[in-house]
Structure 1
Amino acid sequence: MKTMSIKVLLVSTLSILPLLANAGENVASQETLQARSLVKAFGSDLKHVLKTSMKSGGPIKALEQCNIQAGPIAVKNSSSSGWNIARTSLKVRNESNAPDEWESTTLRQFEKRKAAGEQLKTMEYSETVREGDKLVYRYMKPIPTAGLCVTCHGSDVSEEITTKVKSLYPNDQATGFKVGDIRGAFTLQKRIN
């Protein structure tokens, strides 16, 4: 009788495991969908500021506005969503955007994936990690270098722009990019327990 109960328990447990695994995937999928939506909104807000500033005052005005508005835009998107939303890079312009270990590892993986032929448009990475006694869902999406980006982040940046960058970001590392390079990444995290 005891053997039969153990077998029933074992079979029941084994039949439930795939359901539990799929439940975890559904949570991750919902989190990923939410993260994608937030990246789109955050990126759109940043792009709007950049394009508007470029039209009204050229790259110098765009640099100034990016310096002033990028942080508050991230805070606005974070506070309205419950996520921590930011940008990072292996070559940061703003030191406060320096990557943590998880972000550095993910950025290096993005570079390897790009070198292997994966398209940046669909590239992303997410993972649930333990931080102390809490679980945190983390998500990153690469930011490709577009034509407009090389005006301030490229190899052939004008002296006027270089001077302005140095005045706003004395320890800037974010130059030398070519169109299609990974400029950095959106990085999001949300506590899930």
Structure 2
Amino acid sequence: MKTTYFSIFVITLFGLFTNMPIASEQDGKTIKAFSSESSSEALTLEAKAIAKTFSSRLKPILKSAIQSGGFTSAVEVCSSAAPEIAKNLSLETGWSISRVSLQPRNLHSAVADPFEYEVLREFDERQLKGESAQLMHYSKIVNNEYRFMKAQGVEAICLNCHGKNISGELKQKIMTHYPDDAATGYSLGQIRGAISLTKTLDK
């Protein structure tokens, strides 16, 4: 009798294991894709926060410069403060941070690389279709680097230095700091460029 019960137990156990679903290769791909998607979402949130921090640090400095010395003073401050903020943020976060444009003011730091150039062109196309620059961004993994770009739209205060009617004194100050300046002629709300962030991923 004991042998019979034991035989039944073995047969039942064998049946459970043979009917148990086995993880397929497709399951592994699904898990990997889910993990990759989650990582990308986390990186996007991190990049958005850094871009916001950059702007929140620069704006008060420019506002203070404008209040104390007008827009000519803001040009001087912006030429030094913006790169310094980007440099410090890069050290703090481990991301490479810069501002780029299709019409750069600073040829040493604001010229777009091939990836940034294509994204900026895409931003312009998206804006023509009605999308707001305020929420516009783009991200992609390229050569084991996570690339993120946040569009920068022209605000009312920006028109003083980037618009179509710049005063003679201010124009002269801009040319002094940026002799090859191309960052003028913009309209309110138009995309002037983007904050570009890059992070090297672990292999």
Q: Same fold (TM over 0.5)?
A: yes
**Are residues 1:72 and 2:81 paired?**
no
Count of residue correspondences: 182
Deviation at 1:9, TM superposition (A): 11
Q: Structure 1, residues 13-61: CA drift from partner, whole Å, max 9, x if none?
A: 1122222111111111111010000000001111111111111111011
Q: Is residue 45 from structure 1 mapped to residue 54 from structure 2 by the alignment? A: no
Q: C-alpha separation between the residues in 2 aligned to 1:88 and 1:169?
A: 15
Q: Which amino acid aligns with 1:127?
A: K
Partner of 2:128: 115
Contact preservation (8 Å) 2:159, 2:187: yes
Give the Cα–Cα distance (whole angstroms) in 2 for the partners of residues 107 and 98 of structure 1. 11
Which of 142, 149, 157 aligns to 1:140? It is 149
Aligned to 2:5: none
3-state DSSP of counterpart to 2:93: coil
**Greater displacement, 113-122 / 75-84:** 113-122
Which whole-Å CA distance do the structure 2 matches of 1:185 and 1:173 have between them?
15
Q: Note the aligned Cα RMSD (angstroms).
A: 1.5
User: Does the alignment pair 1:178 with 2:190?
Assistant: no
1:148-167 equivalences under 5 Å are 148-167=157-176
Letter in 2 for 1:61: S
* Matching of residue 93 in structure 1 with residue 102 in structure 2: no
- 2:67 match: 55
Give aligned-pair identity as a percent.
37
Specify every segment of 5 or more residues in structure 2 that has no aligned partner in the other structure, as ranges: 1-19
AA in 2 matched with 1:167: T
CA shift digits 1:134-157 (9 cap, x unpaired): x10000000000000000000000
Q: Which residue of 2 aligns with 1:5?
A: none
Confirm or deny: 8 A CA contact 2:103 2:183 kept in the other structure: yes
Distance (Å, rounded) in 2 between the aligned partners of 1:73 and 1:160: 27
Mean Cα deviation higher: 64-73 or 179-188: 64-73
Question: How far apart are the structure 1 equivalents of 2:21 and 2:100?
Answer: 48
Question: 1:111: how far off?
Answer: 0.5
CA drift at 1:11: 6.5
Amino acid in the other structure paired with 1:64: E
TM-score between the two structures when normalised by the length of structure 1: 0.91
Which structure has the greater CA radius of gyration? 2
Matched, 1:26 2:35: no
Q: What is residue 125 of structure 1 aligned with on the other side?
A: 138
Residue 16 of structure 1, aligned match among 28, 46, 56: 28
Cα distance in 1, alignment partners of residues 27 and 50 from structure 2: 36
| In 2: Cα distance, 1:9 partner to 1:95 partner | 60
